Every structure is written in structure tokens, then in C-alpha cells.
Amino acid sequence: MSLAHAPFWSHLPVLPVLLPLCTAAALLLMGDGGGQASHGGALLRRRRWLSLGSAAFGAVLAWCLLAQAAQGQLTVYPLGNWPAPYGIVLVVDRLSALMLALTWTIALPVLYYATGGWDAHGRHFHALFHFQLMGLSGAFVTGDLFNLFVFFEVLLIASYVLMVHGQGRERMRAGLHYVVLNLVASALFLVGLALVYALAGTLNMADLALRVAQLGPQQATLFKSAAMVLLVVFGLKAAIAPLYLWLPATYAASSAPVAALFAIMTKVGVYSIIRVHGVILGEHAGHAAFAAQGWLLPAALATTVLGVLGMLAAHSLARLVAYLTVASVGTILAAVGLFTTAALSAALFYLLHSTVVVAALFLLVELVAAQRGSAADRLQPAAPVAQPVLLGLMMLLGAASAAGLPPLPGFLGKLMVLQSAAQTPAHAWVWAVVLGAGLLSLVGLARAGVILFWNVQPDGAGHSPAGSSLRLTSATLGLLALSLVLAAAAAPIKRYTDAAAAQLAERGAYARAVLGGTQATTRPYRGGEGDIRLPGQGGAP
């Protein structure tokens, strides 16, 4: 069936990309209104309603895709109806659907938080926010590496401006470093793609997974070199040691809603590593199999250790949470670096938890800082906060989950990682680093809580009314409540991540869906989880 005559819902895979693009264009057409001068005005209110409505609709679309993927459907959307590998395809499997749902679920409360005033501190905040959502969504659904590069650039260009939103000397300095490093990474990305195309003759992920297994020993060696170039690029995006040094200053200098949205950006790098090194260069990649096996696990464990040490040395709450982001990425990639299905499932569960908790903590940083007078978020004695019970409990919940205390999702995720590592040769290292990092994280977060809520100076300066805003507080509470939902729904989520990891291992089913044309629609998924369909074709096989 032609895509032009397909039912509306058959176009669902492309909507999370088109929706933020159209929303951003509409917001730009509405005009600027002069930034702060429009705060509280009719124009700003219209922009906010349009932006929030679009984000809510995008979240609904993402959850619809997640529901489809949970049934085992692997949906392929050929743009312009051009077949792969010649045309551009979007592919939604369990992993990409999970990442889409996570992105939009976090974006909605973060955007609601931003409407508390941050969106009026600079120009075109809402348009840039939706351009970033477009880049994130596109990176998760694209079926080829070149368009992964394109969507990387879209989200990075938006993030450059969002990072300096509200201006300030510290933001400009951190933003300059951030831009330069990512421009270098983009150049390396193109070099890696050129090498991959020269050796394999394709950049389509499904086609590449088949062709790489046919490479001879010499070609495979060159291909592994190209894959290592891509690992450097993805490692910089994910903030792996020693490529993480840009992250603490960048995230700490950003405004609270921007830093919270950035919590998902490092996961784009993690996602890319899983796709390239965990799937394309997985067990069936012939001479090029497991190209990163000797590098990824040691780098991930080092990232966790350095992230935790940075937490202990941090002098501000924002930097502490930024280093917590680094440590969590290390734990995720340590599981990915084990290259087993069980470990990958554990990595996905922990990824969900860490992204939600880190985003919530970045919002909480500003709530606390606004109520501590001139001390802001610096870890030093200052005026008591106006809401010590509420903010203290929020800090306790976020810290306990981040450190991995039972029965919160951080504990469950780390337990899954430890269990998946138990039968691997590196189990002693993984156990020592994960457990040690959890203990030191608890120490660092407890130290911060004591300074912020107990070691106070009653005669200090007063707090800002913005710090007790119902809108800001409710958005932060919403993300923290989501972490409790992850704990309550741990069993079905674990079943989903197990199925997602198993589906990634079924490279044949993925290749048939993307490259097999109509034949792929009539063959059941080999894992027994459902069928593979192209847009516009319904019915069971």
C-alpha cells in the first residue's frame, strides 16, 4: 500500500520528528515579542500553550509507539516510499520506542517547569526546545548512520543556544568549550562514516549488519578502526572517561530546565554505542565482532569511579549532580560492555532510572538555590530554606534512588547489573566498582544534604519567592514521582527490557523488516513476540 493512502496511524513513526519541527516553525512565525518584555503578556502565554500542548501530544504519540513495540512489532517507515538501503527509513523497535517514551515523558514536566519564568529569560526558548526534541527523536528512530549524524547536529545546534539561554559569563565560557568539542566530534563522525562507507558500501544499519559479517580479515581490521573512531564520537556525547571533562561545567552552568533536558542527551551517545557496537558489531559480525570489547568496559568503570570522585570534590550542588550524571553513564556502559543479553537489559532499566532521577535533581538544585540567598547552590552554610520539609524529603528521595538504596529503582537497576555480571570474567571489577560507587555516592549526597538543610545560618539573607513556586515544585515532584512508578512497575519494565535486549540480538528479523520488502511483513518475529509490519499493512501474518 502506498504511504500516501495508508491510515493515519501508519505514519506514527515519523510524527515524533515532524511534530516538534512544525511546532518550532509555528513558534518562530508567532514572533519574538522581545524576550523579557513579553513575560506575562498574551504572546508569551500563546507560545506557552502551543509548546506545552505539542509536548503533551508528542508524549501521547511516543507512548502509542511504545505500546505497539511492546507487542513485538518492528515498524519500518520508508520516507518517500523509497526502499532501503537506497532510501531513508525510520525504524521503531523496542529500544527506540523506549527511548522516545523516555524523552517525551521527561520533556513535558521540564517544559512546564520552564514556563515558570525561565522561558522569558532569552529569545525563542520554546522553538529551540522543540528543535532539540526533534533531534533527539530523530536520532532514536533513524535507520542509518548518516541520518544519525544529521539528527545529532540538529539537537546539538539547538543545545548550543539553549545552553547559553539567559546569558551570563559562566554560561558563555562553558558554552564555548561545549561548542568547540562537539564541532571536533562532528568532524570525527564524518571521518568515521566515510571509512565505514568505503569499506562496507552502505550506512543503513540493517544492511551494514549483514555486510560487515562478510568482510575479510584485512577489511575487518580497517572496519574496526572506523568503528573505534565512532566510539570516540559516541563516547564524547555519552561523557565516557577521559572524554567527560566538558560535562560538569556545561551542565552546572546551564539553567535548570535545560540541564534537566540535557540528562537525556548523554543517553543518545549510549544508544548509539548499543546500536553500533552492541548490534552491528555484535556476536555475528565475523572478523569485526566485538571491536570495542577490550575498551568499553574499562572506560566505563573508570568513568564511574571518576564521576563519584568528582561528586565528593564538588563545591556546588549543580556540579555534584553533573558528576552524578557521569557516574550513572559509567554504570550503564559497564553493563553494555559485558556484551550479554541479560546485561543489556539491566543497562536499559538502569538508564531509565538514572535519566529520570538526574533530571529531577537538576530541577531541585534551582529550588534549593533560590531559597538560600546569595549562597545559591554552593555547599556552604547559608540561610535556611523556606520549605525545609518538602525540599528535604525531595532531596532524600532523589539521593536515595541515585545512590541505590532499596526498594527504589536505583537499587533494582544496580542489582540487575550485578546479577548480569556474576557469570562473566570481569564480575569482580564490576561488583567492586558498582558497590563502591554506590557507597561513595551515598556519602557525597548525604554530605550535601547535611550542609544544605542542617548546617544553616538563621541570620542569613532571605529566600526568593520563585523558589517556592507551585509550578516549579509540582514539575520537580512529578519527575520524582515517576521514579517511584519505575520501582512499582519494575516487573513489567524488566520484562520489556528483557524483550528489547532479545530483539536486538535478532539481527535477521531486523534485516528482513528493513530490507525484505513485503516478504518481511509475512514472517513472524523469530523471538515469538509478534509480527513485523510495514506502515499501512495490518493483519496478522
* CB-side neighbour CA atoms (13 Å) of 445: 27
- What mean pLDDT is predicted for residues 416-432? 94
- Cα–Cα separations (whole angstroms), residue 356 to 320, 328, 360, 505, 514: 16, 11, 6, 27, 32
Query: Residue 9: pLDDT band by 50, 70, 90 thresholds?
Result: low
Query: Residue 123: pLDDT band by 50, 70, 90 thresholds?
Result: confident
Task: Please give the mean pLDDT across all residues of the chain.
Answer: 87
C-alpha cell read off for 232: 570516540
- What mean pLDDT is predicted for residues 93-116? 95
- Cα–Cα separations (whole angstroms), residue 129 to 139, 148, 220, 255: 16, 19, 41, 13
> Are residues 163 and 174 in contact, defined by beta-carbon separation less than 8 angstroms?
yes
**32 or 80: which leads in pLDDT:** 80
CA angle, 345 then 496 then 7, to 5°? 130
- What residues have CB less than 8 Å from 286, skipping those under 6 apart? 212, 213, 214, 215, 220
Return the number of other C-beta atoms located less than 10 Å from residue 341's C-beta. Answer: 16
* CB-side neighbour CA atoms (13 Å) of 44: 20
Residue 35 has a pLDDT of 47
> Are residues 539 and 241 in contact, defined by beta-carbon separation less than 8 angstroms?
no
Structure confidence by residue, pLDDT tens digits, 442-491? 999 999 999 988 877 765 554 554 555 788 999 999 999 999 999 999 99
CA angle, 383 then 262 then 418, to 5°? 95
DSSP state of 274: I
- How are beta strands 89-92 and 74-78 bridged, if at all? antiparallel
The DSSP annotation for 285-311 comes to SGGGTTTTHHHHHHHHHHHHHHHHHHH
Q: Which residue do the cell numbers 517507515 mark?
A: 77
Global confidence as pTM: 0.90
pLDDT at 230 over 80: yes
Q: How far apart are alpha carbons 83 and 75 in whole angstroms?
A: 14
Residue 8 has a pLDDT of 59
Residue 38 has a pLDDT of 43
Question: Which residue type occupies 337?
Answer: G
Q: How far apart are alpha carbons 29 and 206 in whole angstroms?
A: 39
Structure confidence by residue, pLDDT tens digits, 372-393? 888 888 888 888 888 889 999 9
- What mean pLDDT is predicted for residues 136-163? 94
Structure confidence by residue, pLDDT tens digits, 165-214? 876 777 888 888 888 999 999 999 999 999 999 999 999 999 999 999 88
Question: Which residue type occupies 83?
Answer: P
Percent of the chain scoring above 70 in pLDDT? 90
- What residues have CB less than 8 Å from 540, skipping those under 6 apart? 531
Distance of CA 165 to the CA centre of its chain: 21
